[in-house]
A and B are shown apart, each in its own frame.
Chain A
Amino acid sequence: AQSVSQHNHHVILSEAASLELGCNYSYGGTVNLFWYVQYPGQHLQLLLKYFSGDPLVKGIKGFEAEFIKSKFSFNLRKPSVQWSDTAEYFCAVNARGGNMLTFGGGTRLMVKP
């Protein structure tokens, strides 16, 4: 079975600071990787996804993530955060060819104006 770990539970940054959120997964086979964001009171939205190819993927709102297979990691980055990035961020994984999407514990990001 797959599992996902997010090491940062709460992150507080000032506007314009750089962001990196860690995500590690555990699964022996090929995986698809995702970052979802949940703004306060809103539904889960996809930020970006990795299926195959270039391990550096770019998503919406200036976010990017890098898949490092040797480290089983898929860290999320943004060079300069904004107050509107305040939200909860979830890393998720499913096994290639499977339907079981498993989420990490989430990281609550607060950006101070």
Chain B
Amino acid sequence: DTEVTQTPKHLVMGMTNKKSLKCEQHMGHRAMYWYKQKAKKPPELMFVYSYEKLSINESVPSRFSPECPNSSLLNLHLHALQPEDSALYLCASSRSGTNNVGSEAFFGQGTRLTVV
């Protein structure tokens, strides 16, 4: 099983709503990532969890709040978003890079988020 599963696939939310994006992998990977991808742009790293601990936060606004409940799950909690936050949110996982020579990241299909 080499899948990263993200739910929901599409989400429309108002600026006052609270919603969560979910990501799951069962490959035994210990690094999990959130990326944001705007149309016709490359993915931009938001957060990295390594061994369930937040290891990288790329200066993301606090209206995005990540959570890693266990080694298979990664959530992104959304609150008071702005229309410019509309984008494709990608989850990825890899064997932890901290001790390995190298490991590729496997990506989910993404959640297409629209903030109205």
Contacts and interface: CB of A to CB of B under 8 A. Distances in A.
Interface of A: 32, 34, 36, 42-46, 49, 51-52, 90, 94, 96-106, 108
Interface in B74-105: 90, 92, 94, 96-105
B45 A101 contact: yes
Among B44, B48, B104, B107, chain A packs the most CB atoms within 10 A around the CB of: B104
B35 to A, nearest CB: 8
Contacts of A105: 41-42
B109 interface: yes
Contact of B42 (A42, A51, A99, A103): A103
A52 B50 CA distance: 23
Nearest to A48: B104
Interface of B: 31, 33, 40-45, 48, 50, 55-56, 90, 92, 94, 96-110
A12 to B, nearest CB: 16
B101 A99 contact: no
Given A43-B107, A43-B110, A97-B97, A102 B102 contact: no
Contacts of A44: 43, 90, 92, 107
Given A51-B102, A100-B48, A103-B43, A42 B96 contact: no
22 contacts: A32-B101, A42-B109, A43-B90, A46-B106, A49-B104, A52-B101, A52-B102, A90-B42, A94-B97, A96-B101, A97-B98, A97-B99, A97-B100, A99-B98, A101-B33, A101-B92, A101-B94, A103-B44, A104-B42, A105-B41, A106-B41, A108-B40
A25 to B, nearest CB: 13
